[in-house]
Amino acid sequence: MKILVVDDHALVREGLRQVLKGLDADVDVLEAGLCGRAFELADQHTDLDLVLLDYHLPDMNGLDALDVFARKHPELPIIVLSGSVNPRVIRQVMNKGAAAFLTKSGMSEELLSVTRLVLAGDVYVPPEVMAAMADPSEAGLQAGQPTPQFTPRQEEVLYLLLDGYANKEIGRMLNLSDETVKNHVTAILRGFGVTTRTQAVLAANRHGYVRSQTSDTD
């Protein structure tokens, strides 16, 4: 398991490194003090499993950093950390495609719990903004926007996305090439009018799609 921690304070990075060891003794934690360095590391380590990203960084704020990660590494889940709680910022962060938002004042066990959730393919929406996220005006959806129409195969891919499977896993499960899966995922993102898998999961939930309890494609 490989996780990238992005924070401009060395003590915070070291603290997060120690906490993340609770996931697995062999977890490989990479560190970056600036977004520029974080993007370099993400390009170099294509096997990254997760990014922990501080919202307030000297060279770029969290929203802009999420845009860059979404463009260059759309399948890489990102947990945004912040020292302050601003519901509007949290909504913006989630709508930009973050997999979770946590405050630095939280407990270590909360970080581990949410990290495990995200690594399993889930999205964690803070309870205090769950209701607001469901509001189309807050969630970036136009009121009355119709549910996009997908082909049966695209719906199969969508439900596997909701279950947290990566493209290669979906390809194996549905006997599809990587390129075909990528094309289906692109069509799903386009259908929901979003740019990342996390945004697609949130949009799918708002349109009534729910993840299956068990997959019958195994």
Query: Shortest CA distance to 70 belongs to which of 183, 196, 210?
Result: 196
Domains and CATH numbers, the chain: 2-138 (3.40.50.2300), 146-206 (1.10.10.10)
**Distance, CA of 187 to CA of 105 (rounded, Å):** 39
**Distance, CA of 140 to CA of 71 (rounded, Å):** 19
Q: What is the pTM of this model?
A: 0.67
Residue of higher predicted confidence among 106 and 63: 63
Q: Over the stretch 17-42, which tens digit does the pLDDT of each residue have? A: 999 988 887 899 999 999 999 999 99
Q: Over the stretch 80-92, which tens digit does the pLDDT of each residue have? A: 998 877 777 887 8
